[in-house]
A = this chain, B = another copy of it.
Amino acid sequence: MKLNQNFEKLQESYLFLNIAQKVSAYQQAHPAGHIIRMGIGDVTRPLAPAVIEAMHKATDEMAHQETFQGYPPAEGQIFLREKIQSYYADRGVTLALSEIIIGDGAKREVGNIVDLFDADNEVLIPDPVYPVYVDTNLMSGRPIRYLPATEQDGFLPLPDGDTKGDIIYLCSPNNPTGAVYDRQGLQAWVNFALEQDAVILFDAAYESFISEEKLPRSIFEIPGADRCAIEFCSFSKTAGFTGMRCGYTVISNRLQIGGVRVNQLWARRQSTKFNGVSYITQRAAEAVFTVEGRRQIKETINYYRDNAKLMADSFRDMGIRFTGGENSPYIWHRCPDGMSSWDYFDYLLENAEVVGTPGSGFGQNGEGYFRLTAFGNKEKTAEAMERIRKLLK
């Protein structure tokens, strides 16, 4: 019996676990402290009333023989997939129901999708980026090539003559940098993928934070993407579902590799290793798309957007360069005085009791940067910015 040796390539523990341990140690040493958490990208506002109502109703259905629901369909409930179909149609993207598959969150789906690909494929991953892309490929033994994202390119790297890769990860609005590709940028990647016979794994988890009409919220707004891209989306940031677990994957019927329809392969994987998403959760997600639901989640997103604006304004005032803050819940900035990311983490924790995320946790090019999130309480966000302003003055 041998363990999967690929696990040895992983860093000792997961970024957010490290942060949690550091924060917990600080708290034990300073029980009277008032820590403000702007680290992990978890939401804090309650679920929308329309969602709550749908959950109570679904719960009552589970209480009666006639309306009880057993195993959900592995690909998701039709009622929810139809709503997502309309959501895309509103943006001019036409999808068949077979192209929309419900899952329990973008993190899991973006991790599981690699099951479909041979271990020999070379993976192209921007650096810095959400660590799950790297770790899931390390675990399954795929060679990784890093694509540097830097301040010079606005953290939005584009393919050039030297770019290579069979599987390309793109995340826009980006986690951690908050940078958002425009149509031209995504078109360049789609063209590259089509030319190179590569697949783009497009993480759109933060799409609902895009407020500028001209920016694409789905890669399927880009011509040709249906033949080379898979999109991952989540209700976590759109509707505060981090504690609910629901997302979806879009794979066009036109995405075929070696004559195999990739969404059929995904359906085969899901029917074997998945038993669908809880009925109540899917009813809750459906409610997000009602008139009331849409209005209510927009209020919440605007609440977080106001936080992001307040943070962006503060950084601008302080003369600190950053990306994000607009069209994104993240503010990504250089650590002051040339501090390393973890040094700045400790400095902020110990002197301002503000918790952020060290940029180096997102890759080598993140070293010297820092991520703060706008998902907190308004008053606390203002207080945190005040503390940072005083500290860095």
Task: Give the interface of A toward B (CB within 8 A).
Answer: 1-5, 7, 10, 13-14, 17, 40, 42-47, 49, 52, 55-56, 59-60, 62-65, 68-72, 104-105, 107-108, 111-112, 115-121, 131-132, 135-136, 139-140, 166-167, 197-199, 240, 242-245, 257-258, 260, 262, 265, 268-269, 271-281
Contacts and interface: CB of A to CB of B under 8 A. Distances in A.
Contacts of A44: 65, 68, 70
A62 to B, nearest CB: 5
A111 B272 contact: yes
A72 B167 CA distance: 30
Contact of A42 (B63, B70, B240, B260): B70
A105 B70 CA distance: 13
A357 to B, nearest CB: 14
B17 A271 contact: yes
A198 to B, nearest CB: 6
Given A1-B199, A3-B260, 14 more contacts: A1-B197, A2-B257, A4-B119, A7-B268, A13-B271, A14-B268, A40-B71, A43-B70, A45-B65, A104-B275, A132-B273, A245-B275, A245-B277, A280-B280
A269 B4 CA distance: 11
B1 A69 contact: no
Nearest to A10: B268
A71 B243 contact: yes
